[in-house]
Every structure is written in C-alpha cells, then in structure tokens.
C-alpha cells in the first residue's frame, strides 16, 4: 500500500471511530451500527461478547437503560496496522437496574481503552474490544469497597471468610516455623 493510500485509510478509519463514539454519546445507535462492517463488542473485564446486530442492539438497550447518560470523552487516539486504539473517559450514572442490581443513583468516571479492529485494508469496524477496571466503577457506584481501607477489609472478611481465614492460617503457620 502506498504512503498516500495508507494515510487516506488512516484518516477514514479515524473519522469512522470518531463518528462511532460521538453517535454513541448522542444515542443514535443506527449511526453507530453503520460504522461497523460487522457489529461486535468484546467487553474484556466482564467476558461479555455481543456479536451481530441483534446482540449489539441488546447491549445498547441494556446498558443505556441502566446508565442513560453513559458517554465517552476521547483522550488519545493511536493507530496500528489494522486497528485504532482509543483512550477515553467513560462516564455514567446508575439510574436503572443492571443485571439484577437496583439503581444506586451514583455516577462513575473510569479511564478506558478500546481497540477498534478493522478488516485488513477496510474502513469498517469489525470489533470494538473494550478494557476498563470494573472495580473502579463498582466502588464509585457503592457496590464494592477499596480493599485497602478498613471498611473494604471488613467487607472482604464478611464476604470471603474461608479465603481470608485460610490466608491468616497460612501466614500464622509461616511465622511459627523456625
């Protein structure tokens, strides 16, 4: 591929990613869907995969019912041969039930990374692979506690007594050995 055509493809892909992200913010999911060659999201921290138009539409419906103001703020964009890597801030407020959890009414802000994968030489997205720290979000929503705080340690002990008890027993056993 010539330098000119590579630069043109890079600009086209960047424009597709920006339109994808901005249309998500506007909740214009038909436009978002149009940025895909094949709709697919892989949410790495949860292990969720939404493959195909119906599954991706279901993902939009579920996530925006729970977080109706969910949005992203682009921070950095990096290019690779067949992908665009984007760092962004993901924000939202938990105003609806999500997978059995009632709404907390609390907001979250989380630094996030997405890899937008493209077919070789193609301008359409074939997968958005998203990485973030789910513990950060859960703590901000009041659904988890920082394990380095007293409250977090007590919650961990109460929720995992066998694991914590075993760890203390191993530590104590190590101290008693000559």
Domain ranges of the chain: 3-144, 145-178
The predicted model scores a pTM of 0.84
Residue 175 has pLDDT above 80, yes or no: no
* pLDDT (tens digit per residue) in 30-55: 999 999 999 999 999 999 999 999 99
List, as own/partner pairs, every contact residues 111-116 make where C-beta atoms lie below 8 angstroms and the sequence separation is at least 24, other chains included: 111/75, 111/87, 112/72, 112/87, 112/88, 113/85, 113/86, 113/87, 113/88, 114/85, 114/86, 114/88, 115/83, 115/84, 115/85, 115/86, 116/13, 116/16, 116/17, 116/20, 116/83, 116/84, 116/85, 116/86
Between 169 and 1, the higher pLDDT residue: 169
Residue 164 has pLDDT above 90, yes or no: no
pLDDT of residue 111: 98
The second-level CATH assignment, the architecture, of 3-144 is: Roll (3.10)
pLDDT of residue 151: 76
* pLDDT (tens digit per residue) in 131-155: 999 999 999 999 887 777 777 677 7
Residue 172 has pLDDT above 80, yes or no: no
């Amino acid at each position: 591929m010539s330098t000119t055509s590579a630069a043109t493809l890079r600009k086209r892909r960047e424009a597709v990613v920006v339109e994808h992200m901005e249309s998500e913010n506007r909740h214009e999911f038909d436009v978002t869907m149009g940025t895909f060659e094949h709709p697919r999201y892989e949410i790495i921290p949860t292990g969720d995969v939404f493959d195909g138009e119906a599954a991706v539409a279901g993902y939009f419906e579920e996530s925006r019912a729970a977080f109706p103001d969910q949005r992203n703020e682009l921070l950095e964009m990096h290019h690779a041969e067949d992908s665009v890597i984007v760092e962004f801030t993901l924000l939202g407020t938990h105003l609806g039930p999500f997978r059995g959890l009632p709404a907390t009414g609390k907001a979250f802000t989380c630094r996030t990374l997405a890899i937008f994968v493209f077919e070789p030489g193609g301008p359409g997205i074939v997968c958005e692979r998203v990485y973030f720290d789910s513990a950060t979000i859960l703590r901000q929503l009041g659904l988890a506690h920082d394990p380095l705080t007293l409250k977090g340690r007590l919650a961990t002990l109460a929720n995992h007594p066998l694991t914590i008890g075993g760890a203390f027993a191993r530590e104590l056993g190590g101290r008693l050995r000559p």
